[in-house]
Amino acid sequence: MDAYTPTPADRFTFGLWTFGNPGRDPFGEPVRARISPVEGVKRLAALGAYGVNLHDNDLVPIDATAAERDRIVAEFKQALADHNMRVPMATTNLFGDPIFKDGAFTSNEPQVRAYALQKTMRAMDLGVELGATTFVFWGGREGAETDAAKDAVQATKWMRECLNFLIGYVKDQGYPLKFALEAKPNEPRGDIYFPTTGHMLALIETLADPAMVGVNPEVAHETMAGLNFYHGVAQALEAGKLFHIDLNAQKVGRYDQDFRFGQEDIKAGFFLVKLLEDYRYEGMRHFDAHALRTEDEEGVWDFCLGCMRTYKILQEKVARFNADPEITGLLAEIRAGNPELEGRMAAYSRANADALSALAVDRVAVGARGRRYEKLDQLATEVILGIR
Ligand code: GCO
Ligand code: MN
Ligand code: MN
């Protein structure tokens, strides 16, 4: 036990598919046995996690009979109860089975869209039975390799139609579910529709009940596209749309690496944790990543513990940054503001427009003034590196 040992109060969660990842990739077979949901619940509880999340088929095989389903779910619920673990989020696997090879909600085939809706309604029933209050939509197969085959305008309409249908289902059932849409630019499709968190935020406003729907941004997905994840999350947060988050790590421009949180770009990790903590993000700190293919089962638990410890270490660094007098002094200078002037800009009025028009700005002097960001960034770097 040390200050970075996770506890349930930290709200750390892992997908069953994360610790359960057997290390298969497009070029190689599994390298370790899949850790079962029940075993995972037990081990993660011992490590201090709060809960686990799941796709329907992480727990119940796609071809299970009703009796098999009930037995598996009962056994899993018992494990959750025994170890005081929760399932805050559930989702549907709409990508693994061959029926989804050309998409689920955006498939050209009505039967596929119907099956996707049917499967998602059953996954919602399961999620709610397990106590989930967030339902994630990651449309891994909603995309194309050739734009000759699918009409992307039509695909957008089908996506909206399916999400609206499911909003209707949730209301009709009286389920306490909110939706969180997860963007990804590509992989496994050549291109995936709604490739960034920003695209998802725009789609949400066109849905039947926008208030019910937010986003689930993932570090790896925005980073693959070369975007600044922190900025995307900040925009979602400001819009009240950050319902969930997938934490991991990723090098820019590669395949979806889903590395241990903090494994790459620790500075970006620091600013992300700072954002979540400073703005008191109340959702789960969910890790959507998996252990390196070099690992056996012991490495999987090293990976899980590492994700959580790094988050907590960065939390401590954030507290240091926020309490450092030299940093707070510099920030106070940099962000001094001007209440009178800012009042004039807060809203349009004829009087404010006249006041701004009459303002004498010393353009040359303001343009010439240094902003001291070099100094500040170095101080931030020294906090992260542990010498402040
Ligand atoms: C990925 C995705 C998935 C989804 C998960 C939940 O790595 O490509 O992030 O892991 O998050 O399937 O729907
Ligand atoms: Mn994800
Ligand atoms: Mn990913």
Note the pLDDT tens digit of each residue in 124-140. 999 999 999 999 999 99
Q: What confidence score (pLDDT) does residue 127 get?
A: 98
Same domain assignment for residues 251 and 177: yes
Average pLDDT of span 189-206: 98
2 lies in some domain: no
Average pLDDT of span 151-178: 98
Same domain assignment for residues 281 and 362: no
Which residue is catalytic, options 55, 244, 286, 290? 55
281 lies in some domain: yes
Tell me the residue range of the domain where 198 lies: 8-322
- The number of domains in the chain is 2
1 lies in some domain: no
Ion ligand 3 neighbours (CB, 5 A) are 220, 256, 258
Q: What confidence score (pLDDT) does residue 302 get?
A: 98
Same domain assignment for residues 308 and 332: no
Dist CA 285 CA 322 (whole Å)? 21
Of 322, 351, 372, which residue sits at a domain end? 322
Q: What confidence score (pLDDT) does residue 85 get?
A: 98
pLDDT digits over 237-289, tens only?
Answer: 999 999 999 999 999 999 999 999 999 999 999 999 999 999 999 999 999 99
3 lies in some domain: no
Same domain assignment for residues 245 and 211: yes
Same domain assignment for residues 40 and 168: yes
Q: What interhelical angle do 325-334 and 297-323 show, nearest 10?
A: 70
Same domain assignment for residues 274 and 368: no
Of 302, 322, 342, which residue sits at a domain end? 322
pLDDT digits over 90-116, tens only?
Answer: 999 999 999 999 999 999 999 999 999
Same domain assignment for residues 363 and 264: no
Q: What confidence score (pLDDT) does residue 117 get?
A: 99
CA distances in angstroms from 322 to 51, 55, 283, 311, listed in the order given: 30, 38, 22, 16
Of 300, 322, 344, which residue sits at a domain end? 322
Q: What confidence score (pLDDT) does residue 142 get?
A: 98
Same domain assignment for residues 60 and 133: yes
309 lies in some domain: yes
Residue nearest to atom 5 of ligand 1 (CA): 138
Pocket test for ligand 1, best of 137, 246, 256, 259 (most atoms within 8 A of CB): 246
Cis status of the peptide bond prior to 185, with omega within 30 of 0: no
Dist CA 257 CA 243 (whole Å)? 23
Same domain assignment for residues 99 and 246: yes
Distance 129 CA to ligand 2 centre (A): 22
Same domain assignment for residues 267 and 220: yes
